[in-house]
Structure 1
Amino acid sequence: MTTSDASWSARLRVVGDLERPDHFYLDNSDTCAYFGTYTPRAGFAHSYTNQIISNLKKSPSVRNTGQWQYKQRAIANVGAAIAQNLKPASWQNTVFIPIPPSKRRDSPEYDDRMLRVAQAMGHNADVREVLFTEVEREARHTTTDRRDRDALRASLAIDTGLIANPRQQVVLLDDVLTTGCSFKVCKEMIAAIWPESSIIGVFVARRVPQNPFADFDSE
């Protein structure tokens, strides 16, 4: 089993000019950071990052089975990794908001993995589910279609009971940065209620495009 490789960095890496074109909706006004590079459809054994993402995304249906421990471990490890990358002085001025999953909170398939990652950071972090899914949608990893921003926005809602006392900085948390659509929509929604806050994205991994020469036979 893969334990460590070059796909993962203990330090957050910022999406820069070279990486940004891999994420269609991002532009140079967006600040996003990530730990690992995720290769889709390559399987959990492909890399350490793929293993982490696979474990994070384990379905709630495996609760109370031997598989659940791997999800729990991944949540704890990612929470600790984020905490180790933040300056202690910034905690009191930051609110952490999980980007909502595709299912409603009353669905048996609802997966609160990023909420639990945020809670695993410790340090009395200000964690709020300000955004939530009001209308269920297809999970992003089950489709290769480009996201419809308007449709995604229409599926989300703001919990107005959690918007008092805004912070100087907002960190939107998610597992995989794909097109950047979810981040962009959530950023715009938060900016509308907290216009004075700076908003950044922190991701466990970013999806990397497949190498077009991976199957090329040089001989």
Structure 2
Amino acid sequence: MTTLDASWSARLRVVGDLERGDHYYLDDDDTCAYFGTYTPRAGFAHSYTNQIVSNLKKSLSVRNTAQWQYKQQAIGDIGAAVARNLNADSWQNTVFVPVPPSKRRGSPEYDDRMLRVSLAIGHKADVREILYTAVEREARHTTTDRRDQEALRASLAIDESVTRNPKRQVVLLDDVLTTGCSFKVCKEMIAEIWPEASIFGIFVARRVPSNPFADLDMT
């Protein structure tokens, strides 16, 4: 099992000028933070972050097997990490909104992992599924196509029943920051119903680009 390493930070790290270019949908006015750096296609054992992301994304097909405990553990660990990083005085002014998965509620493949992470924050956090998937789409990790903001937005809808009593801050919670497309679309949708709110993103990890010199023979 992978042990804790430099890929993971117990304290949230803010996406700054150096990192923002790796997530090309993000602008200077987007505030996003993350715990780990995730390396795609490097495998489970590459780093602690790769391990926790892999566990978090375990397929629902492993429910009722020994593998399921690792997904549950990842959800609890991430929720606790979020709780430790937020000022307790801000709880009453914050709404936590999980970014919707690619599948609709009721689908056999519907994975509510980010909702469960949000609930694992505890402290009577105000968790609301304001956004939900109305039209199913292909999961991001199964396609290499560039994300389309308009298409993504068309697949999402707002649950008006939970939009009453807005608060000053909204935290969008998601697993891996890749292009930033999901964050931007969700942020814009929340801003339309709560224009006075400050909207932030918290991610389990951000994807780091591959090293272009990794296969270069320097000998």
Q: TM-score, normalised by structure 1?
A: 0.99
Matched, 1:113 2:113: yes
Q: 1:217 deviation in Å? A: 2.2
Matched, 1:200 2:200: yes
Aligned positions of 1:34-113 closer than 5 A = 34-113=34-113
- The residue type paired with residue 9 of structure 1 is S
Query: Distance between the aligned counterparts of 2:3 and 2:119, measured in 1?
Result: 25
Q: 1:148 deviation in Å? A: 0.6
Query: Distance between the aligned counterparts of 1:85 and 1:216, measured in 2?
Result: 40
Query: Distance between the aligned counterparts of 1:209 and 1:144, measured in 2?
Result: 14
Query: Distance between the aligned counterparts of 1:210 and 1:52, measured in 2?
Result: 19
Query: Distance between the aligned counterparts of 1:59 and 1:215, measured in 2?
Result: 32
Q: 1:205 deviation in Å? A: 0.1
Query: Distance between the aligned counterparts of 1:165 and 1:32, measured in 2?
Result: 24
User: Alignment length, in residue pairs?
Assistant: 219
- The residue type paired with residue 69 of structure 1 is Q
Query: Distance between the aligned counterparts of 1:50 and 1:217, measured in 2?
Result: 27
| CA deviations over 1:27-59 (Å, ceiling 9, x no partner) | 101000000000001111000000000000001
Q: 1:218 deviation in Å? A: 1.7
Unmatched tracts of structure 1, length 5 or more: none
- SS of 1:184 mapped into structure 2: helix
Query: Distance between the aligned counterparts of 2:87 and 2:151, measured in 1?
Result: 36
Q: 1:61 deviation in Å? A: 1.4
Matched, 1:140 2:140: yes
Partner of 2:214: 214
Query: Distance between the aligned counterparts of 1:145 and 1:11, measured in 2?
Result: 32
- SS of 2:17 mapped into structure 1: coil
- The residue type paired with residue 211 of structure 2 is N
Q: Which runs of 4+ in 1 moved over 3 A?
A: none
Query: Distance between the aligned counterparts of 1:215 and 1:45, measured in 2?
Result: 20
Query: Distance between the aligned counterparts of 2:99 and 2:182, measured in 1?
Result: 7
Identity among equivalent positions (%) equals 80
Query: Distance between the aligned counterparts of 1:105 and 1:58, measured in 2?
Result: 18
Partner of 1:165: 165
Q: 1:143 deviation in Å? A: 1.1
